[in-house]
């Protein structure tokens, strides 16, 4: 029925529990504009264009407390407010659909199954910042999403939701679906802008921040797919309603991509502050650990966030609670692994990824990730040496906080936490030249 067979919790969504992003993601017709409109689609855009000023829209989003779902959790309304008022330069909006953080596959569902919600959210944001040309940057592998977004865009043009003088309100808006070329770094907003300009996807130093000088040196707002998809709901139901969900500083709902050693991996929309344990074990969600083995660790927010150990899984899934236990909400990708997983093996997978995806601009990231991969690879292959762990820690310390973009940090934070939490296991690996828990994951 769907291109992506991923499990969702759409059936759980109701007005009462406030879940909204996933309301129609199990509706096979939702991607068609008739169906979307039938479900009240584009009413928020109409409301905004015909009865609200751009400032009022920004204000409403500010008030809702909506924070960016791409990883950094920056308040969306506040970011929009940074666009210089007096500037005569064109402004741009880029929806970040590069979704490449290992473990993350939530934007993909939204784009595939409810593409108009993304377009509507983008259009509202565009109006709020005074933009007349908006982009969605979709990772090149997502052919199906690209086709869906292109088709939805064509429909939206045809029905007058995009184009010239939308709803007769005197506002023009064009849209371009742009596709990536296979580079995780292009999810980082400044690298994304470079890539969109046809450059190599290398990040840029900030300041200037994109909101001041972004695409083509013009004010530009970059927001994640999920962030923007929430915007129409905030407009329709009000900032107060949105604030009523979650906590003071983590409002609304969030989609978590649950993967790894769980019985029911899938995308689940839950209210902010949802218990992590419940997400993993509740039969309505993860349904417990595969083979009912013991949990060994969890990466709570995508491959670039620090690990949680079993004694930490009582944490709630919101920005502040995860920060309190030394990790991050990130993109909301919860990766679970059980007792039979070798931590060195996990880390080798991750550092290989970050080394492969480093853009190569900053010396510490470029050279450091490669060096780390070699040392960790040596340990994993039974050739570790005394002092390797300290060396790893030192190299990590020399990368952390020393690079232009957070990819350098992202590469080392999981390593640092893994060394901290499972130091004995690393030692064992070096001394005994093999895994404590030999990893041989079968494939069904």
| 261 in contact with another protein (CB under 8 A) | yes
41-49, 242-250, 320-328, 359-367 -> range binding ligand SF4 (CB under 6 A): 359-367
Q: How far is the CB of 260 from another protein (least distance, A)?
A: 5
148 close to 177: Cβ distance less than 8 angstroms: no
* 368, 399 contact by CB (below 8 A): yes
**Distance between CA atoms of 124 and 146, rounded to whole angstroms?**
21
Q: Of ligand SF4, another protein, ligand FMN, none, which one does residue 207 interact with (CB within 5 to 8 Å by kind)? A: another protein
- The answer to whether 299 contacts ligand FMN (rule: CB under 6 A) is no
Considering only 7, 34, 53, 74, the residue that binds ligand FMN (CB under 6 A) is 74
Sheet with 295-299, strands from edge to edge, namely 266-271, 253-260, 333-338, 295-299
Residue 105 contacts which entry, another protein, ligand SF4, ligand FMN, none (Cβ below 5-8 A, type-dependent): another protein
**Can you tell me the distance from the alpha carbon of 442 to that of 297, in angstroms, rounded to the nearest whole number?**
19
Which stretch in 148-156, 222-230, 391-399, 424-432 sits in contact with ligand FMN by CB under 6 A? Answer: 222-230
- Interface with ligand FMN in residues 83-102 (CB under 6 A): 96, 98-101
Nearer to ligand SF4, 250 or 358 (CB): 358
Q: Kindly write out the interface string for residues 396-425 of this chain, putting x where it contacts ligand FMN by CB under 6 A and - elsewhere.
A: ---------xxx--x---------------
User: How many Cα atoms sit within 13 Å of 429 on the Cβ side?
Assistant: 30
13 binds, among ligand FMN, another protein, ligand SF4, none (CB under 5 to 8 A by kind): none
Nearest residue to 266 (alpha-carbon basis) of 250, 283, 248, 249: 283
The two structure tokens encoding residue 407: 């990819």
Residue 358 binding ligand SF4, by CB under 6 A: yes
203 interacts with ligand SF4 by CB under 6 A? yes
Q: Which of 35, 72, 130, 238 touches ligand FMN by CB under 6 A?
A: 72
Using a CB cutoff of 8 Å and minimum separation of 24, what contacts does 280-285 make? 280/313, 280/334, 280/336, 284/9, 284/12, 285/9, 285/258
286 contacts which partner out of another protein, ligand SF4, ligand FMN, none, CB within 5 to 8 A by kind?
Answer: none
Closest CA to 97 of 130, 146, 133, 58: 146
Min dist. Cβ of residue 439 to another protein (A):
9
191: Cβ–Cβ under 8 A, 6 or more apart, which residues? 183, 185, 201, 202, 203, 204, 359, 405
Q: Does 133 bind ligand FMN (CB under 6 A)?
A: no
Q: How far apart are CA 258 and CA 333, in angstroms?
A: 6
The pair of structure tokens assigned to 283 is 């039969």
Question: At closest approach, how far in Å is the CB of 353 from ligand SF4?
Answer: 12
Q: Are 257 and 106 in contact (CB under 8 A)?
A: yes
185 is a site residue for ligand SF4 (CB under 6 A): yes
Residue 90 in contact with another protein, rule: CB under 8 A: yes
Instruction: Mark the segment that binds another protein (CB under 8 A) among 241-249, 307-315, 353-361, 429-437.
Output: 353-361
Q: Between 331 and 341, whose beta carbon lies closer to ligand FMN?
A: 331
Contacts for 417 with CB less than 8 Å, ≥ 6 apart: 306, 307, 326, 327
183 binds another protein, rule: CB under 8 A? yes
Task: Provide the binding-site residues for ligand SF4, judged by CB under 6 A.
Answer: 185, 202-203, 358-362, 365-366, 403-405, 407-408
């Amino acid at each position: 029925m769907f291109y992506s067979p991923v499990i969702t919790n759409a059936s759980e969504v109701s007005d009462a529990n406030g879940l909204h992003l996933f309301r129609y993601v199990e509706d096979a017709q939702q991607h068609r504009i008739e169906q979307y409109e039938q479900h009240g689609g584009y009413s928020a855009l109409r409301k905004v264009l015909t009865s609200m000023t751009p400032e009022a829209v920004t204000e409403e989003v500010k008030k809702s407390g909506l924070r960016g779902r791409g990883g950094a959790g920056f308040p969306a309304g506040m970011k929009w407010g940074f666009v210089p008022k007096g500037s005569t330069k064109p402004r741009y909006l880029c929806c970040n659909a590069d979704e490449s953080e290992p473990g993350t596959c939530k934007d993909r569902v939204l784009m595939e199954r409810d593409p108009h919600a993304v377009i509507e959210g983008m259009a509202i944001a565009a109006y709020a910042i005074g933009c007349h040309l908006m982009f969605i940057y979709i990772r090149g592998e997502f052919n199906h999403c690209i086709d869906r977004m292109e088709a939805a865009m064509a429909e939206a043009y045809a029905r007058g939701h995009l184009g010239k003088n939308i709803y007769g309100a005197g506002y023009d808006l064009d849209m371009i679906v742009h596709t990536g070329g296979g580079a995780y770094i292009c999810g980082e907003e400044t690298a994304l802008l470079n890539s969109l300009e046809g450059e190599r996807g290398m990040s840029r130093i900030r300041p200037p921040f994109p909101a001041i000088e972004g695409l083509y040196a013009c004010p530009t707002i970059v927001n994640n797919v999920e962030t923007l998809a929430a915007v129409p709901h905030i407009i329709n139901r009000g900032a107060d309603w949105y604030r009523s969900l979650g906590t003071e500083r983590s409002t609304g709902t969030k989609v978590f991509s649950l993967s790894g050693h769980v019985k029911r991996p899938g995308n689940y929309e839950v209210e902010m502050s949802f218990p992590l344990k419940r997400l993993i074990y509740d039969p309505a969600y993860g349904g417990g650990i595969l083979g009912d083995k013991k949990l060994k660790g969890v990466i709570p927010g995508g491959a670039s966030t620090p690990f949680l150990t079993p004694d930490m899984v009582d944490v709630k899934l919101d920005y502040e609670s995860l920060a309190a236990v030394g990790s991050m909400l990130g993109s909301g990708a919860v990766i679970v692994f059980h007792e039979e997983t070798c931590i060195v093996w996990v880390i080798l997978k991750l550092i290989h990824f970050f080394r492969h995806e480093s853009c190569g601009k900053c010396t510490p990231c470029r050279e450091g990730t490669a060096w780390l991969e070699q040392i960790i690879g040596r340990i994993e292959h039974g050739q570790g040496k005394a002092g390797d762990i300290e060396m790893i820690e030192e190299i990590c310390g020399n990368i952390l906080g020393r690079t232009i973009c957070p990819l350098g940090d992202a590469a080392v934070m999981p390593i640092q936490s893994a060394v901290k939490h499972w130091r004995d296991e690393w030692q064992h690996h070096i001394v005994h030249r093999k895994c404590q828990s030999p990893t041989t994951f079968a494939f069904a």
